[in-house]
Chain A
């Protein structure tokens, strides 16, 4: 197997773009990634596009705005994990020796699907994602004595990271406090609007290449390499939910972590920053434990100690996470790759994690799947 590097990353700020066509958003992210990689579209051997809500053909049409070289273009869809899953396909193709380079492009416009009412004939539609994750929180509160303040602390941390990230959808002007998060509109008890990701549009991209070629394209920059790649789906256990916008069960993230650490040859002690699927902040709390960054039952104590905040032992969601940076769908997982790549290069500005040598990017996709990677600085 060939080793695979992240040669370039690019994205547009996530947000509301009612007047911008998704093709234009995708083009701009793709061009930014090519520029960051220092390559031309003629250097790209294959393109993998990820979109969730856009119509058929949207991917190949968006790629035409970047260039028309006859390159293979393949669409990947895996709910929230779409961008991550698209990158994994590019990784596998390069690792398998089929291509030297690939462009991965994720985009979506959630604002175009809002108002397209769910099917009232379908029982699944009675259960919103917010309700599903709120029930994670209620159960956790029952089992571990978690307080809404713990959830609010994660949210406040992520909002305040968002203020440091120019690509974040939410960029609060003033420091967000636990009190402010708790006072926000209740969406699905105990989750408030500020504990939930926003609706938004966005695009993000990455250029992957054979690791031995990375120095040729970018001789003066540290090489960021994919040390592990994982995609898994569910294993049946009693109590499995077969209906609704389901993500889980928890074992799927434990299995992902185990597989990633085995591939990488190191574990959480050697990882300096983590991005997770914090669509609702209770998820981030659970992933502290499921990914092995604290022991089961110790997430609340770790939050109180600031273990996963900027300046803590292992900062999580350093770009604001889905909570603040946003979660348009297709590009979300690639925004995690954008952030982790900049961190590992030492280019993350005010939110730079000191001595970042390895970062973990973890996404969940409804249905459900878990897609995750570990990136390392060579």
Chain B
């Protein structure tokens, strides 16, 4: 059993870190209270209707793969061997509307435009006894 360390986000404000290590994260968006549009990351002014009445909206981390690539370089900020050979990157459409640009779990031949994905937290490195985590998406189907 690997040691379970406390987890901290690479940068605060983008995704949640559930207390239960098995639970999936949520994506922290803003939602316009006037026109209903969702945005990631959070913003004050609605880019669609310019209303300032936006509020934090947490949504499940799942979506559809709009496009992807596989970068043949180490992942910035990661100390993990798995990330040294390169990493997948995808544009993921949440059902609420926002498109995210995020690392993908898996190899290039596992990705297909239009496939369903689920979000998960991935530890990049250890800092002061804590795991620094980032959100990434993994194919929900094979």
A266 within 8 A of B: no
Q: Is the CB of B41 within 8 A of A131?
A: no
Determine the distance from Cα of A241 to Cα of B113 in the docked complex, in whole angstroms: 17
B76 neighbours in A (Cβ, 8 Å): 117-118, 120, 125-126
Determine the distance from Cα of A240 to Cα of B69 in the docked complex, in whole angstroms: 18
Determine the distance from Cα of A242 to Cα of B38 in the docked complex, in whole angstroms: 12
B72 neighbours in A (Cβ, 8 Å): 185-189
Q: How large is the interface on B (under 10, 10 to 19, 20 to 34, 35 or more residues)?
A: 35 or more
Q: Is the CB of A243 within 8 A of B68?
A: no
Q: How large is the interface on A (under 10, 10 to 19, 20 to 34, 35 or more residues)?
A: 35 or more
B71 within 8 A of A: yes
A135 within 8 A of B: yes
Binary B-proximity of A128-144 (CB < 8 A = 1, otherwise 0): 10111011111100100
Nearest chain A residue, comparing its CB with the CB of B69: A134
Known: A127-B89, A127-B101. A139 touches B66 (CB 8 A): yes
Determine the distance from Cα of A187 to Cα of B69 in the docked complex, in whole angstroms: 10
A123 within 8 A of B: yes
Which of A123, A136, A189, A243 meets B10, CB within 8 Å? A123
Q: Is the CB of A126 within 8 A of B75?
A: yes
Nearest chain A residue, comparing its CB with the CB of B75: A126
A138 neighbours in B (Cβ, 8 Å): 67-69, 113
Nearest chain A residue, comparing its CB with the CB of B89: A131
B51 within 8 A of A: no
Binds A, one of B18-26, B54-62, B91-99: B91-99
Determine the distance from Cα of A244 to Cα of B71 in the docked complex, in whole angstroms: 15
Determine the distance from Cα of A125 to Cα of B11 in the docked complex, in whole angstroms: 12
Which of A125, A136, A242, A244 meets B67, CB within 8 Å? A136
Chain A nearest CB: distance from B80 CB in Å? 13
Determine the distance from Cα of A137 to Cα of B67 in the docked complex, in whole angstroms: 9
Which of B14, B47, B66 meets A236, CB within 8 Å? B47
B77 within 8 A of A: yes
Which of A117, A118, A123, A186 meets B14, CB within 8 Å? A123
Q: Is the CB of A121 within 8 A of B71?
A: no
B17 within 8 A of A: no
B67 neighbours in A (Cβ, 8 Å): 135-136, 138-139, 142
| Chain B positions 78-125 with a Cβ under 8 Å from a chain A Cβ | 89-91, 93, 97, 99-103, 108, 113-114
Nearest chain B residue, comparing its CB with the CB of A128: B71
B53 within 8 A of A: no
Q: Is the CB of B77 within 8 A of A132?
A: no
Known: A123-B134, A134-B69. A240 touches B99 (CB 8 A): yes
Chain A nearest CB: distance from B63 CB in Å? 11
B73 within 8 A of A: yes
Q: Is the CB of A126 within 8 A of B77?
A: yes
Determine the distance from Cα of A136 to Cα of B43 in the docked complex, in whole angstroms: 26
Known: A123-B134, A126-B77, A242-B40. A142 touches B101 (CB 8 A): no
Determine the distance from Cα of A76 to Cα of B10 in the docked complex, in whole angstroms: 33
Determine the distance from Cα of A374 to Cα of B87 in the docked complex, in whole angstroms: 41
Q: Is the CB of A135 within 8 A of B11?
A: no
A239 within 8 A of B: yes
Binary A-proximity of B33-54 (CB < 8 A = 1, otherwise 0): 0000101110100011000000
Determine the distance from Cα of A127 to Cα of B97 in the docked complex, in whole angstroms: 20
Determine the distance from Cα of A241 to Cα of B39 in the docked complex, in whole angstroms: 10
Determine the distance from Cα of A118 to Cα of B10 in the docked complex, in whole angstroms: 14
A239 neighbours in B (Cβ, 8 Å): 66, 93, 97, 99
Chain A nearest CB: distance from B112 CB in Å? 9
Which of A186, A187, A189, A241 meets B101, CB within 8 Å? A241
Which of B11, B68, B71, B113 meets A123, CB within 8 Å? B11
Q: Is the CB of B69 within 8 A of A131?
A: yes
A236 neighbours in B (Cβ, 8 Å): 47-48
Determine the distance from Cα of A131 to Cα of B103 in the docked complex, in whole angstroms: 10
Q: Is the CB of B39 within 8 A of A242?
A: yes
Known: A139-B113, A242-B41. A125 touches B77 (CB 8 A): yes
Determine the distance from Cα of A121 to Cα of B13 in the docked complex, in whole angstroms: 12
Q: Is the CB of B70 within 8 A of A188?
A: yes
A221 within 8 A of B: no
Chain A nearest CB: distance from B108 CB in Å? 6
6 A-B pairs with least C-beta separation: A120-B77, A134-B69, A139-B67, A135-B67, A236-B47, A142-B113
Listed in ascending order, the chain A residues whose CB lies under 8 Å from chain B are 117-118, 120-123, 125-128, 130-132, 134-139, 142, 185-191, 236, 238-244, 246
Q: What are 26 A-B pairs with beta-carbon distances under 8 A? A: A117-B76, A120-B76, A121-B10, A122-B11, A123-B10, A126-B75, A126-B77, A126-B89, A126-B102, A130-B71, A131-B69, A131-B71, A131-B89, A135-B69, A135-B90, A138-B69, A138-B113, A139-B66, A188-B70, A189-B72, A190-B69, A236-B47, A240-B47, A240-B99, A241-B101, A243-B41
